[in-house]
Amino acid sequence: MQSTLRRFGKFSLALVFFISIYSCTDTKNSAYKAESSGNLNQLNVVITNDDWQDSIGEHIRQIFAEDVQGLPQQEPKYALNQIPPKAFNGFARKNRTFLKIETSEKTGHQVLIDSFAKPQTGIAITGPNPSSIITELNTHKDKFLELFSNTELKEKRRRMRKAPNEVDVLKKSLGITMLFPSAYRYAKQEDKFFWMRKDIKNGSMELLTYEVPTSTIEKNNDIIANVIKMRDSVGEKYIPGPTEDTHMITEEAYAPYLFETEIDGKFAYEIKGTWEVKGFFMAGPFMTYAVRDEKNDRYIILEGFVFKPSSSKRLQMFEIEAILKSARFIN
């Protein structure tokens, strides 16, 4: 009898152990999400063929494939990939970002985080007819663009963290840190001015960091004129052209775009435009952030520009944006 009980006890323990392992495994499987995929700034649009060719698709293209401001040629914010709803399964669901259009009695939208893969941001927009869906798109377009932009910037920084560059000199001199890849090299370091360069096919990518007094940016409240004057003086002093007596300036033909934003919780001006070399045929896009540091009565200037003639520059400027917006102030 006792022998039977002992065998039964061992069996019960083994059964409990098996059930525990199975339960843990099952929980883990149910929580598992595949790793998301896709090129940067590529957006899957889940929509019927008819709607894609009609007014809804037209408005989606106007919002998400709008030309990027500050580039010398037309380039869209996102490369759009239309997918019919029936084909939205398997690998198609793993893209890092997607926009889903659905017909429903209720008009609205839902933000879907890590629904089919991780990390992933999806937006589902519903409405009973094209007019209601278009209204929902237009009403919340800034929110949608910001959600997708933040997702892609975060992914870009994740990739850059695999091989980051040293930033000790920036910490000691300017009191900031910034995430940028080791593919960049320090080309110039002097008087709290730093120039980092990265060679690319048929061109280069450049980063600048330095500080200026608050009055340099805010004098007379003419921000654009002050930024142009500042950039041109820095270009003349530090950024020479390919021949003698040439240097980088802000392109005179077009006024740069000016926006207000924040970096590391501090107010910043965002300026996008085109640079050129005075006295020489060279040009390209630039992006500048003037970050107000009230405690030290200064602006930290974070700038990036690209030289890549006769080629797309969207992805290069996106990398620069991810780098500059990663700046953090050290207390």
Mean pLDDT of all residues belonging to the chain: 90
253-to-95, 276, 279, 309, 314 alpha-carbon distances in Å:
40, 10, 15, 18, 21
Q: Quick: pLDDT tens for 122-151.
A: 999 999 999 999 999 999 999 999 999 999
Q: Would the pTM count as exceeding 0.75?
A: yes
- Give ∠ CA 314-320-325 in degrees, rounded to 5: 125
Over 70: is that where the pLDDT of 121 sits?
Answer: yes
Question: Which of 75, 151, 161 shows the shortest CA–CA distance to 114?
Answer: 151
Over 60: is that where the pLDDT of 219 sits?
Answer: yes
Question: Rounded mean pLDDT of 33-52?
Answer: 95
Rg of the chain (C-alpha set): 26
Sign of CA dihedral 14, 19, 24, 25: positive
- Residue 120 burial (CB count, 10 A): 23
pLDDT of residue 51: 97
Do 178 and 167 form a contact (C-beta atoms < 8 A)? Answer: yes
C-alpha of 278 from chain center: 31
Over 90: is that where the pLDDT of 269 sits?
Answer: yes
* DSSP result, 9-22: HHHHHHHHHHHHHH
* DSSP result, 99-112: EEEEE-SS-EEEEE
pLDDT of residue 31: 62
**5-25 CB burial, b ≥16 within 10 A, e <16:** eeeeeeeeeeeeeeeeeeeee
State percent of the chain over pLDDT 90. 81
- Per 3-state DSSP, the chain is made up of helix, strand and coil in percentages (nearest 5) of 40, 35, 25
Q: Which domains does the chain have, with CATH numbers?
A: 35-159 (3.30.379), 162-329 (3.40.1000.10)
β strands within 23-154, DSSP E: 34-35, 42-46, 79-83, 97-103, 108-113, 117-118, 121-127
